[in-house]
Structure 1
Amino acid sequence: MKKLVVITGGTKGIGKALVLKFASRDFDVVTCARNKDDLEKLKSEVRELFPDVKINICQADLSTKEGRESLVFYVRSMKRTVDVLINNTGVFIQGQIFNEPEGVLESQIQTNLYSAYDITRGVIQGMIDVKSGYIFNICSIASIVPYASGGSYSISKFAMLGMTKVLREEMKPFNIKVTAVIPGATLTASWEGVDLPPERFIKPEDVADSIMGIYDLSDYTVVEELVLRPQLGDI
């Protein structure tokens, strides 16, 4: 049986690059997004490129408890162990702590932290049972460097990195690897409208290639934190 990867937020940016990368390596894929049309388009693209790969799509809004429960139910209903979980779903809302609108922190925490927390809790028992698996959490440079134009975003991403570090310690006895992926500015929808050339950004495909390279390491080695930045530095 093929290995199974679950990638949240798989229709755009880093998520889509990851779906295509793992499909190219003959993984069956589960992914989710809020937009059904985007999911169907991705499904058609994967089927055309990789006819032997099973691409499973689940429409779910991971900023809500109901959406997170829906994805967990979908994955569990497959009756398969998840070999790789990539918590990629995230949203960036610009603003500063002292003047951002009410509710921004709650929104960022729900999407950027609780999505990873709840999905991980929902699927990890299968990994524990077989003492095998890999979890990648897509954090951000804002997880390690305070970002003054994204107050609540930075808070949520610092928390995401903290969760990843704790999970790494918890999973050691079960032979489950955990990696925090910490990319800088990546050419995704979050940067639409910014007047900067593409070469100032990380390519989503480079993030996906790096994750696959880490996954391919021997059982004896884990990369705990992967930091990627644009060649010319942070924006």
Structure 2
Amino acid sequence: MTKNQKFALVTGCGKGGIGEALVKQYTSRGVHAIATVLPNENHDHLTEAGITWFPLDVTVEKSVIDLKQNILAITGDGLDILVNNAWVFLSFLDPFSRSGLADYGYTMTAIDTDVEAVKRMFNVNVFGPMQLVHHFHDMIIKACGTIVNIGSIGGVVPYMYGSSYNASKAALQHWSNTLRLEMSPFNVKVITVISGEVGTNILKNDINRELPEGSYYSPLAAEFKKHVQRTPTQFTDRFEYAANVVAQSLKSSPTAWFWYGSSTSVIRFFDTFGWRTFFDFVFYREFNLGKVRTAHLARMKTEM
């Protein structure tokens, strides 16, 4: 490799996902892209494209440490770009789709949440990126590099049935905010990507989830089932998304929050100029919460 060769590590590069599109885009821009996939996950799509890849489970520290040794053997001592993507395919309309790697979402009302399931989600969606940065920060500092954290508009708006997922994205995004400040003395850039709907060919992992028996939201059981089985109709092509994220990451002065993908423009506008409960009104109607209120009032009358 030449002295001027740039290196980009992208986690979560399963077939058909955002990560795969990102490493292919970096490669087309002359960057040596290094991909990760879950241990035992298919990697033929990367091998056939001539992309360097390694196994990684972001929730296992030894896996991260082993990855670092492999990266050092390739780059020498620096890393120009780290893209924390392993834990998510992000979306506003469909925030629980599966990526090819370690994706974890949880579709459920806040009061009916299985907390143990959510702990696993936070391990993947929040602590995974933290662990990558903890172990790779010295390499990134040496390269005066860039960290890209893939967030979601789910972390901005109160999307129904997504309280836990949204919380994990909000945590990541605000951690990324502070990371940007703390890394600034070292000339390391941190980009938080606020992603909208991005199309992949991977099925949802919550397709068979149902509301628990006796839930206060039982009047919406049919709607909930339809929600988890829906097929998004409006989304941004993943290669278009990747091209724009990669271009942003290669800038000398990238934007702090980079909004891209279906629905991001309207969400950004109303988050900036609307009142704080604006989306309460929108989602109350969209998810037919009036039906829950009517059932609740009727139940209270029978109990009086």
Give secondary structure in 2 for the equivalent of 1:103.
Answer: helix
Residue 224 of structure 1, CA deviation: 0.3
Structure number, greater radius of gyration: 2
The alignment's C-alpha RMSD in Å is 2.3
The equivalent residue for 2:129 is: 116
Give the % identical residues.
23
Q: Indicate if the aligned counterparts of 1:88 and 1:137 stay in contact, CA closer than 8 A.
A: yes
The total of aligned residue pairs comes to: 222
Which of 77, 91, 106 does residue 93 from structure 1 map onto?
A: 106
Partner amino acid for 1:117?
Answer: M
Contact 2:196 2:263 in 1 (8 A): no
Residue 27 of structure 1 pairs with residue 31 of structure 2: yes
CA contact (8 A) 1:140 1:182 kept: yes
TM-score by length of 1: 0.84
Among 55, 64, 67, the alignment partner of 2:60 is: 64
Q: Distance in 2 between matches of 1:142 and 1:4?
A: 30
CA deviations 1:134-177 (Å, max 9, x no partner) are 11100111121122212221111111001110111011111111
**Deviation of residue 191 (structure 1)?**
5.0
- SS of the residue 2:10 aligns to: strand
Letter in 2 for 1:74: N
Q: Which residue does the alignment assign to 1:138?
A: 150
Residue 103 in 1 paired to residue 139 in 2? no
Q: How does 1:1-235 map to 2 (within 5 A)?
A: 1=2, 2-12=5-15, 13-44=17-48, 46-47=49-50, 55-78=51-74, 79-90=76-87, 91=103, 92-130=105-143, 132-188=144-200, 189=202, 191=204, 194-197=230-233, 200-217=234-251, 219=252, 221-230=253-262
The more displaced of 85-94 and 225-234 is 225-234
Shift in Å at residue 32 of structure 1?
Answer: 1.1
Retained in 2: the 8 A contact 1:75–1:123? no
Q: Find the residue that maps to 2:82 and give its secondary structure.
A: strand
- Paired residue type of 2:148: F
Offset, 1:14: 1.1
Contact 1:39 1:59 in 2 (8 A): no
Change (3 A) 1:37 1:216: closer
Corresponding letter in the other structure for 1:85: L
| 1:95 positional shift | 1.8
Q: Aligned equivalents of 2:174 and 2:263: distance in 1?
A: 26
Partners of 1:147 and 1:121 lie apart in 2 by: 31
Unpaired runs of at least 5, structure 1: 48-54
Q: Secondary structure at the match of 2:128?
A: helix
Native 8 Å contact 2:58 2:131 kept in 1 = no
Please state how far the C-alpha of 1:10 moved relative to its aligned partner. Answer: 1.2
CA distance in 2, matches of 1:138, 1:185: 13
Amino acid at match of 1:163: W
Residue deviations 1:76-96, cap 9 Å, x none? 344341111100012222222
The answer on whether the counterparts of 1:30 and 1:57 sit within 8 Å (CA) in structure 2 is yes
The separation in 1 between residues aligned to 2:160 and 2:25, in whole angstroms, is 33
8 A contact 2:197–2:263 mirrored in 1: no
1:72/1:119 contact within 8 Å kept: no
Letter in 1 for 2:122: I
